[in-house]
Amino acid sequence: MNLNFAGKNVEVTQALRDVTEKKLSKLDKYFQKDFVGNITFSTEKNRKIIEVTINLPGTILRAEESSDDMYASIDKTVDILERQIRKYKTRLQKRYRDNETIRFENVVPLPVADDSEKPSLVKTKKFTLKPMSSDEAILQMELLRHNFFVYQDAETEDISVVYKRKDGNYGLIQPEI
């Protein structure tokens, strides 16, 4: 387990690092290889927030929690990650009984340029698109806990977008060229 710690408006103490490493080490049983995790601690208006992003081969797991106590936030985040891992591992096993695995590309963010002339552009990301089905795209979107996901459709090779609707169902946008 390789963890990278960062703090926003809070000092990341050795005790906080140790507790976080200990709590996240219980996720080791789900993986054969070491994983890389980015942990960000922050404080906003007396709320202690922790954000954990785990980069796995082929997928990304993410959880964010806040509470009045940083240690309680850590516990909640680890519980969420463990629940996600179990849920999606079971889902993948049911869907791919012939031992095929879903392949997802890791999202690689571009370096953020300090350009004050364009205040409307908040964040830019660049990532490679790998052909996948809409079901795989929905699964990746849920793992990232995002509202939409851009992917390349395996059948048509077009760029498509799946999104979560307000009624809990999913929508699909496919361009017409």
CATH number listed for the domain at residues 2-95: 3.30.160.100
User: 52-56, 58-62, 68-72, 100-104: lowest mean pLDDT where?
Assistant: 100-104
Domain ranges (residues) in the chain: 2-95, 108-173
Residue pLDDT, tens place only, 26-54? 887 777 677 788 999 999 888 999 999 88
CATH number listed for the domain at residues 108-173: 3.30.505.50
Q: Give Rg (Cα) of the chain.
A: 18
pTM of the predicted model as reported, rounded to 2 decimal places: 0.57
CB within 8 Å of 8: residues ≥ 6 apart = 40, 41, 42, 43
Residue pLDDT, tens place only, 113-125? 555 555 677 778 7
Q: Do domains 2-95 and 108-173 have the same CATH topology?
A: no
